[in-house]
Structure 1
Amino acid sequence: MILWFTIAQIAVAVIAGVLCVALGLAGRRPGDVSVGSLALVQVLLIAQIVVAIIAPFAGNAPTGSLLEFWTYLISAAVLPIAGIVWAFVDRGRWSVVVMGVLALAVAVMLYRMHVIWTIQAVA
């Protein structure tokens, strides 16, 4: 993984998460800002999938379990899609809070993916 890109992804996911939770608790329904912030998180995760495919060929191989890394990455890539679908099905304020929690979960998963890729050694 690329450090600056990982930091940028985590920052965007945390900002999107806090924004969605705040909007939801303020009583706002899903809108362009909340859905758009989660869509941005999704676009960055798709870019991360591309980077994870190309990085080993460029000499940036993972130090941890490749299976565990890809499980985290695919799971993280599904979460924003699920949150956006939920927002379209349930147009209530709590769906915005759920989108925020999902974005924060993606941030944690991105940190864990970074640890698996760079720090964790296979035993």
Structure 2
Amino acid sequence: MIDWFTWLQIGVAVLTGLFAIIAGLAGRKPDDYSLGALLLVELLLVVQLVLALLAPAFGNAPTGNPLEFYTYLVSAIILVPLAGFWALVERTRWSTVILGAAALAVAVMVYRMLQIWTVQLG
């Protein structure tokens, strides 16, 4: 994993999560801003997947369990579209809060992936 890119992902996910939760609690239904921000989180996850697949070929292999890492990554990639689908089907303020919760969950998952990739041994 690339350290700065991981922190960028975490920052974008946290900002998206806070924005969506605040907007949802303020009564806003899902809109282009909340869904677009979540789409950016998803795009960054897909880029992370490509980087994670290529990194071992360039000498940057994970120090932790690769299966655990990819399970987190694939789960995060699946979580975002599911939250977006929910927001499109149920257009209430609470689905905007769900978008925020999903983004915050992704931030935690990406941080855990960083730990698996860089900190653990074997």
Using structure 2 for the length normalisation, give the TM-score: 0.99
1:61 equivalent to 2:61? Answer yes
Question: Where does residue 98 of structure 1 map in the other structure?
Answer: 98
Describe how 1:11-50 pairs up with structure 2 within 5 A.
11-50=11-50
Question: Where does residue 3 of structure 1 map in the other structure?
Answer: 3
Aligned AA (1:11): G
Cα distance in 1 for partners of 2:116, 2:14 equals 20
Cα distance in 2 for partners of 1:107, 1:14 equals 6
Shift of 1:79: 1.1
Structure 2: which 5+ runs fail to align?
none
1:82 equivalent to 2:100? Answer no
Cα distance in 1 for partners of 2:101, 2:51 equals 25
Cα distance in 1 for partners of 2:98, 2:106 equals 12
Cα distance in 2 for partners of 1:101, 1:121 equals 31
RMSD (Å) for aligned C-alpha atoms: 0.4
Shift of 1:18: 0.1
Aligned AA (2:18): V
Cα distance in 1 for partners of 2:69, 2:34 equals 28
Could you list the runs of 4 or more consecutive aligned residues of structure 1 that deviate by over 3 angstroms after TM superposition?
Answer: none
Aligned AA (2:56): P
Aligned residues: 122
Cα distance in 2 for partners of 1:5, 1:38 equals 17
Cα distance in 1 for partners of 2:89, 2:23 equals 18
Aligned AA (1:103): A
Shift of 1:40: 0.3
Question: Where does residue 121 of structure 2 map in the other structure?
Answer: 121
